[in-house]
Amino acid sequence: MGIERTSSERTDNRTGSIEHEFTLPQTVAPKDPIYSVELFPDDQPNAAPFLELNSSDQLTLRFESLGFDSHSYEISFTHHNPDWSESGLSPDQYFTGFGRHEIPGGIVSRSAQPYYRSYPYHFPNQNVGFRVSGNYMLHVHNKDTGELEFSLPFFVYENEGTVASSVETLRSARYSLRVMHRPVSRYLLPEWLDQPQFDLSFYYTQNQFWGKAKEAQELDFSDPNEVLFELSHDRPFIGDYEFRVLNMKNVDQLSQTVLDIDKSNEPWKVVLRDDAEGFNRPVSVGAPQQFGPDHSMNSNYLDVHFSLDSGGELNNGQEIYLVGDFNSWKLNQKYRMTYDEQLSRWVQSVIMKEGTYRYKYVLVHNNRVDDLTFDTLFPDTRQEYHAFVYFRDINQFYHRLLQVNTFYKESR
């Protein structure tokens, strides 16, 4: 059933935990009562969290806490290497500010299903700034208890040099002849960079799954003014990678997606129609659509019940997990599906705000993750890619992020 991949094939970030198939090991997923966590450039929901150093750009952090009670939160930052190990820089070397900074009190919803508070926060600002480029992790703490509530990655780049990228399309017998994508890039060097072959490294990511980053190993330094970098032929990305899409906007009536609504519950109980193996409508990644929670304070939270017809028996030890934008793409026991004998379906429920979400059913067996089993194999999807150029600064002892580049490729 499907395609199994070992942990070494899943990611360059080397973790034995299935929890981090899509995310980084340093990422801490939010837990009740915090939901609807997002981090994006101002006015660009769904865009990757890239911030140009020493510019007027800002990132927006948004999250919500269920319940009427007010909570106090603080924010802090850590600086990381390209492989996401912590850099050797002290906070005063990469950060302007004083330790943790308090996030102002939340805005109370006008909804009664149930009440919640929204916490929007924009940075850099007069209290928070960054001295150097690189990979960063944002940490949100409960000020009263000191507990870490969640962590999210973001990137500060210098905009040095220029990257142009394209994607080569392949077919691979190793992956059941699925469409494969091999990114190829050309980096025009800044004038001050003299020995790129010793100090530069290059990475690619797909669909903002930072835990699946791959380092480009095929490099060409023959031109003194530019570097060609690309993935090797035996380590491409899945080019027809699929998502299911769930439209939970303005849920107040039955639809092709919703089977039943119980408004006597708080939050409302929403029962979805069955999903079935091989039958779904993939969503085009990178299309001008808003995925994630609705930002309106009039929107409700929902208790959404999923059911999957897996199309057959599972082998001993196999499990199915539900992941998506609504649970930060974390594979953990809370979202492991259970088999309902009466329905003959795999079921799971998720608390989420009204909005539009991408999601997948993922098969796990012996700590191996197969996120392709339940695909249709007839997708018309658009894949989002990012290229990263790092410079190892031997004088300042950290990796500078010189440039990032976002590009797209249709699956066919």
Residue corresponding to tokens 């900074």: 101
Name the token pair of 22: 């899509």
pLDDT of res. 33: 93
In the chain, which stretches have pLDDT less than 50?
1-16, 284-288
**Domains, the chain:** 31-157 (2.60.40.10), 162-240+382-410 (2.60.40), 244-370 (2.60.40)
pLDDT of res. 194: 85
Number of C-beta neighbours around residue 233 at 10 A: 12
Name the token pair of 12: 């360059």
pLDDT of 57-114, one tens digit each? 999 999 999 998 888 999 999 999 999 999 989 999 999 987 789 998 889 998 777 8
Residue 361 CA to residue 310 CA, distance in Å, equals 10
CA gyration radius, the chain? 22
pLDDT of res. 173: 73
3-class SS string, the chain = CCCCECHHHHCCCCCCCHHHCCCCCCCCCCCCCEEEEEEEECCCCCCCCEEECCCCCCEEEEEEEECCCCCCEEEEEEEECCCCCECCCCHHHHEECCCCEEECCCEECCCCCCCEEEEEEEECCCCCEECCCEEEEEEEEECCCCCEEEEEEEEEECCCCEEEEEEEEEEEHHHCCEEEEEEEEEEECCCCCCCHHHHEEEEEEECCCHHHCEECCEEECCCCCEEEEECCCCCCEECCCCCEEEECCCCCCCCCCEEEEECCCCCEEEEECCEECCECCCCCCCCCCCCEECCCCCCCEEEEEEEEECCCCCCCCEEEEEEEHHHCCCCCHHHECEEECCCCEEEEEEEEECEEEEEEEEEEECCEEECCCCCCCCCCCEEEEEEEEEEEECCCCEEEEEEEEEEEEECC
